[in-house]
Amino acid sequence: MGKMSFIIAFIWSFVLWLVLTAGTKGMLWSAEELIAGSIFASIVAFSTRNIIGEKTTRFLNPVRWLGFVVYAMGPLFWGMVKANLDVAYRVITGKIKPGIVKVPVDLENDAQYTILSNSITLTPGTLTIDACPEEKALYVHWIHVTEEEPKTSEIIAGSFEKWARRLGK
Amino acid sequence: MRAQNSDMGLIVKTMARATIPLIGIFGAYVIAHGHITPGGGFQGGATIAGAGVLFLVAFGLSEAKEKINKNFYSVLEGIGGLVFLAAGMLGLGVAFFYNILWHKGPVFNGEAGTLLSAGYLSMMNLAVGLKVYTGLVSALFAIALFRRWKK
């Protein structure tokens, strides 16, 4: 709430404006685009300052941005490649055993749940149906259930839970 | 519990928190560049109204009731229409909708292709965008409030 959320929302929207208007003066931005961008980003940030969330200042840390880049290009990309090949194998052979399993996770906040759920959904063969913070569990639809009551998220998500815990902390 | 509150789960809410400002600024970009890139007032206004609908759907009616003020949206819609009309009357000395800002105005007469060019067009785009956004959001909010399913 208040001033910090305004600044976060401003930076978040102003960066998108810069991405959209890059190239207005050579490779960079003309002054009028920068001024118009800051005005529009202020309006957007003022309107959304109560929506964007209370403790989002932690996402201003550049080390965390580096973490997101490393995660997206390393473990997440590799996990998607492996999972796609696995699903291709299941499409060809027809060896499936679908089911919904409850996966216990050890996460604390909304951002961590969102990062983990989206990572699980992005890797084919698994689809997050619901995240229940009060049960500390995710419900995942799995194309080939090998363990009906997993004790950790290791078998479904690999190292994603560790990454989600670190990135969303 | 969730059905009573008429809102979505945790993941949808968190993603909505992150994407609503992005949709808003993208809509503002479409409106502000209406005279040099595809898009304009209606397209950008409808885009921002999409962010409003996302807010309404993700956070539910009770949250939206606190944040959406009927009179404020009504006034903004009127202002949008009036600004459009005012921009049209600027060149009334020559003709209605005569683009006097472009021909010999103090502002908005930059080199064609830049942001501050094309005379009153960017003003009109902003006005139409404001009007479309507020109009669509208040219409959809009113429909969402109309909840007498039972006879």
Confidence of residue A153 (pLDDT cuts 50, 70, 90): confident
User: Using the beta-carbon criterion (under 8 Å), do A44 and B25 form an inter-chain contact?
Assistant: yes
Query: In chain A, which residues have their Cβ closer than 8 Å to the Cβ of B25?
Result: 13-14, 16-17, 40-41, 44
Q: Is B116 on the interface with A (CB under 8 A)?
A: yes
Both structure tokens of A13: 């929207």
**What pLDDT does B1 receive?**
43
In a domain, B115, yes or no: yes
**What pLDDT does B151 receive?**
56
In a domain, B103, yes or no: yes
Q: Which stretches within A24-138 are classed as H helix?
A: 31-48, 62-71, 77-93, 110-122
In a domain, B131, yes or no: yes
In a domain, B29, yes or no: yes
Instruction: Inform me whether the pLDDT recorded for B133 exceeds 90.
Output: yes
Instruction: Inform me whether the pLDDT recorded for B47 exceeds 90.
Output: yes
Closest residue to A30, CB basis, from B10, B21, B114: B114
Mean pLDDT of B27-42: 89
**Cβ-based neighbours of B82, under 8 Å, separated by 6 or more:** B127
Q: Is B114 on the interface with A (CB under 8 A)?
A: yes
What are the residues facing A127 on neighbouring strands?
Answer: A141
Instruction: Inform me whether the pLDDT recorded for A41 exceeds 50.
Output: yes
**What pLDDT does A167 receive?**
81
When scoring A48, A105, A128 by the number of chain B Cβ atoms within 10 A, the one with the most, hence best to mutate, is A48
In a domain, B2, yes or no: no
- pLDDT for A88-137, tens place per residue? 998 899 888 888 888 888 888 888 888 888 888 888 888 888 888 888 88
Mean pLDDT of A72-100: 88
Q: Is B78 on the interface with A (CB under 8 A)?
A: no
Q: Is B14 on the interface with A (CB under 8 A)?
A: yes
DSSP string, B55-102: HHHHHHHHHHHHH--HHHHHHHHHHHHHHHHHHHHTTTTT-TT--HHH
**Buried/exposed B56-88: b ≥16 CB within 10 Å, e otherwise:** bbbbbbebbeeebeeeebeebbeebeebbeebb
In a domain, B5, yes or no: no
Mean pLDDT of B104-114: 77
Query: In chain A, which residues have their Cβ closer than 8 Å to the Cβ of B114?
Result: 24, 30, 32
- pLDDT for B4-26, tens place per residue? 556 788 888 888 888 999 999 99
Mean of the per-residue pLDDT values of chain B: 85
Asked if B26 and B47 touch (Cβ cutoff 8 Å), the reply is yes
Q: Is A116 on the interface with B (CB under 8 A)?
A: no
Closest residue to B14, CB basis, from A17, A41, A110: A110
**What pLDDT does B4 receive?**
52
Q: Is A115 on the interface with B (CB under 8 A)?
A: no
Nearest CA in chain A to B116: A32
Domains in chain B, number: 1
What is the pTM for the complete model shown?
Answer: 0.85
Both structure tokens of B121: 């067009």
C-alpha angle with apex B56: B148 to B27, nearest 5 degrees? 140
Query: In chain A, which residues have their Cβ closer than 8 Å to the Cβ of B26?
Result: 16, 20
Confidence of residue B130 (pLDDT cuts 50, 70, 90): very high
Mean pLDDT of B117-127: 87
Both structure tokens of A36: 């118009």
Task: Find, among A122, A123, A156, A158, the residue nearest to A138 by Cα.
Answer: A156
Instruction: Inform me whether the pLDDT recorded for B128 exceeds 90.
Output: yes
In a domain, B68, yes or no: yes
Q: Which domain holds residue B64?
A: 10-146
C-alpha angle with apex B120: B27 to A48, nearest 5 degrees? 25
Query: In chain A, which residues have their Cβ closer than 8 Å to the Cβ of B11?
Result: 113-114, 117-118, 128, 131
